Amino acid sequence: MKTTKTVVIGAGPSGLFAAIQAAEKGERVVVLERNKEAGKKLLLTGEGRCNLTSTLPPDQVLDQVFQDADFLYSSLYTFPPVRTREFFSGRGLKLKEERGSRIYPKNDSAESVRRLLVNKAEKAGVNIIYESRAEEIIYDSRCRGVRLQRGDKINSDRVILAAGGCSYPWTGSDGSGYTLAQKTGHSLRPEPVPALVPLKVAEDWPADAAGLKLKNTGLKLKRENEILFTETGEIELREDELGGAAVLAASCYFEKGAGKSSLIIDLKPGLDKNKLDDRLKRDFDKFSNKLYRNAFKELLPAWLRPVIVKLSEIPGNKRINQITAGQRQALAGLLKNLQLRVTGTSGYKRAIITRGGISTDEIDPSTMESKILPGLYFAGEIMAPAAHTGGHNLQIAFSTAYLAAAGGE
């Protein structure tokens, strides 16, 4: 039986950050980490480069939160992106700004971020116990500590649950934190689902151009007759799914079972249908004696040309000067309105984050303390809020961890 002030469950970014903040104000802190090393999931962020935060003010960060944004008002204004930047730069990590107000380590290394957090935690006196799984939270009228899977107990005044969601489960973020919280009376609302994830489609033509990345392409997510999401950005065609930044953003609004959903691709978002038809007419006049399958050399990427020929249902060996005005106008419509039926997502193994989690109705937004069980605090992705890419989800992790750590005062 051990005794400490604070037990943190999970040595990811929110757990380590909370531990550092608590230890630096004099608390005795133990972190329980199920893996042999801390921050495994952190190494995957920003494709290994770690998009730490942004240069945006809190109100603009909140605009990027698509789930439970109101809950984060206190945490993001108390510990905004500027304080995150000051924390890391003040501890020797050089930062840089890239497009979209994104902040990265200057060395493009997520490992340097992990190393800084672990080193600062250890220097502050945090005891990180690796290969240690929390079995349950001990409590009576309030939180009293943690029982480990191997039977050991750690008594504490409070517990910060920072075990993550379900995305990239091999990193340890497998939903086990939800079970710990549910045993104390907490609920999942909304139910966790994969987000920022590729979308599966029913059509097989993306496989014909698999690997092609379409830049500055229009995308809409539609459910029945309702447009849920509109974006212009990158789309990547794959064997049986679509990826890329625009699709990942659209996935945040997809709900399986809520109705028939489709993606609508606009290959030429800068031109309306009439202007695109004018462009096609000029190209067709220029290449009038060529075969139709050779009509798109100046309009479309090479891998996409045979796909469009097939989808247009105009014979590829037909002479361009034989194509009617009606066929050309229908082709313009096709290029502006490529539709694919969405069948689901690629699941947690491919999802960057989890949308949904511990209900924010059960957590005090100014302290991150449970409204159900005094002494139990939450930080990071285990809670319901979720945001688009751009460093915002890591910022949420740091901001909520800061409040959770301060709650012991």
What mean pLDDT, rounded, does the chain reach? 96
In angstroms, the CA 342 to CA 113 distance is 37
Task: Please give the CATH number for the structural domain made up of 2-193+357-406.
Answer: 3.50.50.60
**Would you kindly state where each structural domain of the chain is located, as residue ranges?**
2-193+357-406, 198-346
Confidence (pLDDT) at 409: 55
Alpha helices in 25-166 (DSSP H): 58-63, 73-78, 81-89, 110-123
Q: Which residues make Cβ contacts (< 8 Å) with residue 294, sequence separation at least 6?
A: 287
- Residues 236-270, buried b or exposed e (16+ Cβ, 10 A)? bbbeebbbbbbbbbbbbebeeeeeebebbbbbbbe
In angstroms, the CA 74 to CA 294 distance is 58
In angstroms, the CA 247 to CA 388 distance is 11
> Which three-class secondary structure state does DSSP give residue 27?
coil
Band of residue 246 on the pLDDT scale cut at 50, 70, 90: very high
- pLDDT per residue over 313-353, tens digit each? 999 999 999 999 999 999 999 999 999 999 999 999 999 99
Query: Which helix (DSSP H) or strand (DSSP E) does residue 393 occupy?
Result: helix 392-406
In angstroms, the CA 51 to CA 29 distance is 27
- pLDDT per residue over 86-107, tens digit each? 999 999 999 999 999 999 999 9
Give yes or no for residue 1 having a pLDDT over 70: no
pTM to 2 decimal places: 0.95
Q: Please state the rounded mean pLDDT for residues 56-63.
A: 98
Confidence (pLDDT) at 190: 96
pLDDT cut 70: percent of the chain above it: 99
Give yes or no for residue 213 having a pLDDT over 90: yes
**Which whole-number Å values give the CA distances from 353 to 66, 205, 233, 359, in the listed order?**
12, 28, 20, 16
- pLDDT per residue over 15-54, tens digit each? 999 999 999 999 999 999 999 999 999 999 999 999 999 9
Count of residues in the chain: 409
Give yes or no for residue 3 having a pLDDT over 90: no
Confidence (pLDDT) at 407: 82
